[in-house]
Structure 1
Amino acid sequence: MKRVITFGTFDVFHVGHLRILERARALGDYLIVGVSTDAMNIDKKGRAPIYPQDERREIVLGLACVDEAFYEESLALKGEYIQRYQADLLVMGDDWAGRFDEFRRLCEVIYLPRTPSISTTAVIERVRR
């Protein structure tokens, strides 16, 4: 069984999130998703997510393509998460290209193209207008 792991905030869930999760799942037999905690999001992006971590994790877990989800507490723990969940493949969006190549010693690493013209930031800006 090929175990795939990916990570994200998944705030203001949109079709781009769905597509990358579906494509990640298609690359293996079991998809594990790390959902960044509220605290991690504040540290990384300088703002709290629109939706709290419990709701974001619940949304991700409700998808047919997702088998398991956990809270990602730090970018620095990615290697530990890969090992803990015995991942064979790490999938990330290509906006992270090259940033996680160091984990090739633990598993295969693939960067998938993002869905064009959609991002959480763009959705939030559209709602504000």
Structure 2
Amino acid sequence: MPAADTAGPDAGPATGPATGPDGASPRTVITFGTFDVLHVGHIRILKRAAELGDRLVVGVSADALNESKKGRAPVFSQDERVEIISSLKFVDEVFVEESLELKRDYIVEHRADVLAMGDDWKGRFDFVSDLCEVVYFPRTPSVSTTELIEHIANTA
């Protein structure tokens, strides 16, 4: 299936978990992120991802993964970030993402029909388009975790 910028009507057959009440398989959407210092941009992208299917699965970056890719420890621990994301009513399942290289494995394991990511990752996950539809959402303008952390540090 080709990568897409928006969810299209030809998303292909669902490969998600057990059938829903109407007999069709639920459409599972998966997304990934650090979600450190949760803000409105995170909420908006998660809500948009949830709207693409019946079930939203979120991979939260492990502390070690965050440190290796961003060069700093997260403000909130992975357990705290998992708890925060789990508390959102539109999120159905949360797991800890241990490695960026395991995206294909996570998609297969969670039987995802759609991978939804922010467009700051545009094109970087097209390699999984043979497994699921790939959707990139525009980021919320002027909202950045890094900028929030810097602002807090500079005003403290």
Whether TM-score is above 0.5 comes out as yes
Query: 2:81 matched to which residue of 1?
Result: 56
For the residues of structure 2 that align with 1:57 and 1:89, how far apart are their CA atoms?
21
| Aligned pairs for 1:34-53 within 5 A | 34-53=59-78
Query: 2:143 matched to which residue of 1?
Result: 118
For the residues of structure 1 that align with 2:140 and 2:86, how far apart are their CA atoms?
21
SS at match of 1:22: helix
Mind listing any 5+ residue stretches in structure 1 that lack a counterpart? none
Residue 73 of structure 1, CA deviation: 0.3
Residue identity matched to 1:48? A
For the residues of structure 2 that align with 1:24 and 1:41, how far apart are their CA atoms?
22
Residue 36 of structure 1, CA deviation: 0.3
CA displacement, residues 91-121 of structure 1 (integer Å, 9 cap, x when unaligned)? 0000000000000010000000011100100
For the residues of structure 1 that align with 2:143 and 2:46, how far apart are their CA atoms?
15
Query: 1:128 matched to which residue of 2?
Result: 153
| Aligned pairs for 1:1-129 within 5 A | 1-129=26-154
CA displacement, residues 3-27 of structure 1 (integer Å, 9 cap, x when unaligned)? 0000000000101000000000001
Residue identity matched to 2:149? I
For the residues of structure 2 that align with 1:11 and 1:50, how far apart are their CA atoms?
6
Q: Percent identity?
A: 63
The structure whose Rg is larger is 2
Residue 126 of structure 1, CA deviation: 1.1
> Deviation above 6 Å: which 4+ runs of structure 1?
none
Residue 128 of structure 1, CA deviation: 1.1
Residue 125 of structure 1, CA deviation: 1.1
TM-score of the superposition, structure 1-length normalised?
Answer: 0.99
Calculate the aligned-residue CA RMSD, in Å. 0.4
Mind listing any 5+ residue stretches in structure 2 that lack a counterpart? 1-25
Q: Which has more helix, going by share of residues?
A: 1
For the residues of structure 1 that align with 2:82 and 2:141, how far apart are their CA atoms?
24
